[in-house]
Amino acid sequence: MSAALSGMDASSPTMAGRIRLIIAILLVVLIAESIGTFSFAVGKGKVVLQPMLWAIFIGAIVAMLARRAPSPIGISEQQQSYISGYLQFALMPFLAKLGMMVGGSLPSVKAAGFALVFQEFGHFFGTMAIGLPLALLLGIKREAIGATFSVGREPSLAIIAERFGMQSPEGRGVMAEYITGTVLGALFIGVLASLITSLGIFDPRSLAMGAGVGSGSMMAAGVAAIASQYPPEMAKEIGALAAAANLLTTVFGVYFTLFISLPTTIWLYGKLEPVIGRFGKQKASAEAVANVDANSTSHAAPPMGYADKLVGWFACGLLTLVGNKFGYGVPIMDALPGAMIIIAIVIVADLVYRLLGKVPMVAILSLFAMAVGCPGLLPFSDAAIALVAKVNFLPFTTVILAMAGLSILKDLPAFRRLGWKIIVVSLAASTGTFLGATVIAEFFH
């Protein structure tokens, strides 16, 4: 058996190490869910802080303390990188749950029609609409292109690396956007979505589509913040529309950003920089990010085997049951069969992905989960729907963001060296993609 399949290659943690990491995630989830939900007013609006947001802060504190603890109970920077790797796998059960919700809500998704299709333009052009002018006003130069042509996830890094190289100003900009999104993205979108939702300006379906920004953790934070302010029966439709929008953004995002949004951002930069740039400070943002090592791989997870995939899938699926018990009062053993069905869907989708090769995993997973979640479509669909219904989707977000919090410290050295300007621009771009898609979706409703 190859090392890739066994997951026991030299770069993988030991079984004891994996168990220690799972215990740390469980500890964070328990504390976050015990705190529960807290809300406070901001002017006419209201910010609702869900357990998933506590999980980020608590995870960072646990990681900081554990990093200084003795080896048997400590969590080193390398182990934080493993948790970061588990995070990308843990998103799969969450997407499977949302996929089943889409399947059961296909009439609602179909009814969204043009709103669902055209809101994607808001996701891709919203980043530059707010972020680019602000960057130029702050005196940022070509780093602004990399930081504002998208929300800066992994495909964006690849596009900029091939087009400009990571040592370029554009490369520094997209790296800044990536690290800002990794460290603050989910927290920021969660708070922003909570505040905008509380104002009562937009239809919750529009807000749901706005939350599908193409990042699983950011979508999870946005959906949780929106759904928490509406009746439970509305949560299903919110999650389904967000998942559908996120699927469109993920599947078509590479092509859209490569052929449309990046060329448009470059063109706009050429037109706006001579006009707006002169109002900013006359120094390039290279000064703010000169110390960032563009070749740094601190943001990347180390090579991980199939056993690590299983750890990520099972950790998310099973630890979600803790939040499901605390938040919704569902006994763990009652919800366990539903969680196992979700994990089984992920495993089957992964096998199909290995056979097909070139089709994105998220597309396969989402389509298969939708099929399982569509009543009567498959022989076992109705039984699976009934069991999975006992596993609510919001507790998934607590587990996902607990992992994000536990892995956050490894990115802080690079994060501190980015400079405040590029961070502000990155958050403005995230604001633009959420609001842009929401406004367009609202127009078509």
Is residue 124 over pLDDT 60? yes
- pTM surpassing 0.85? no
Instruction: Render pLDDT for 290-304 as a digit per residue (tens, 0 to 9).
Output: 444 444 444 445 667
Please name the amino acid found at residue 355.
L
The predicted structure's pLDDT at residue 269: 93
Q: Which two tokens stand for residue 370?
A: 């939708």
The predicted structure's pLDDT at residue 286: 45
CA dihedral 199, 202, 206, 212 (to 10 degrees): -30
Is residue 352 over pLDDT 90? yes
Q: In this predicted structure, which of 30-34, 354-358, 371-375 has the lowest mean pLDDT?
A: 354-358
Instruction: Render pLDDT for 40-55 as a digit per residue (tens, 0 to 9).
Output: 666 555 666 778 778 8
Residues 6+ apart with CB under 8 A from 273: 136, 141
Helix axes 186-198, 216-227, angle to 10 degrees: 30
